[in-house]
Structure 1
Amino acid sequence: MAELRLTRERRTELVALLGDDGRLRADFPVVADYLSTAPMLAGTGDERLDAAFDLGLVHYLTGGDSVTGNPYWDIVGELVFTGTSSVSWSSSVATGGWSAAVA
């Protein structure tokens, strides 16, 4: 999964939005709620991966464009391991980014 790349303009927009709590809460209340809750969530244990997840979520939920055309997959793609199970069918398993054997 490719890392999210933001234009300078988009990065400036997000910095301004995240720096103005009143605007964030007025324009994107669900995003503001998520950001106040996120530090209490367990996460994956990988701070870089967790930060990338949060950035992608904020980017797309505040109107950012998706390079792939599928913002959902852009956000969760790094957290999914795609493999083949012992039953010989392809499957995807949410593993928090860790490679895991599919049982």
Structure 2
Amino acid sequence: MRNKVTEYRIPIELKNTTKDKLTLHPEFYRMMRGEEETETIDFIDNKTGEKISDLKPYQLLNGTVTFTFLNDSENKYQTVDLHIIGSNGVSVQKFIVKVY
């Protein structure tokens, strides 16, 4: 934590079960530390190392989600939570996952 940047890398498996291309929306994922949040998020394909912005029809992605925090606030030692926003087109759901 003495570094100026903390990077969280979370393994993830995503599967597009539709016949349509699905765009990944980074704005639906937030890493929160107290009131501080980060919007620096990248979806990385583990095979190619490339940044992914969408899933092709029926594509399975084994990848890593990377979040980056600057360590210049008083919250730098607080627990981090991953906030995920989902929607089925009618309602919105919010999931919070503790990151240790």
Same fold (TM over 0.5): no
Q: Which has more strand, going by share of residues?
A: 2
Provide the TM-score with structure 1 as the length reference: 0.22
Q: What is the TM-score normalised by the length of structure 2?
A: 0.23
Write 1 or 2 for the structure with the bigger share of helix. 1
Structure showing greater Rg:
1
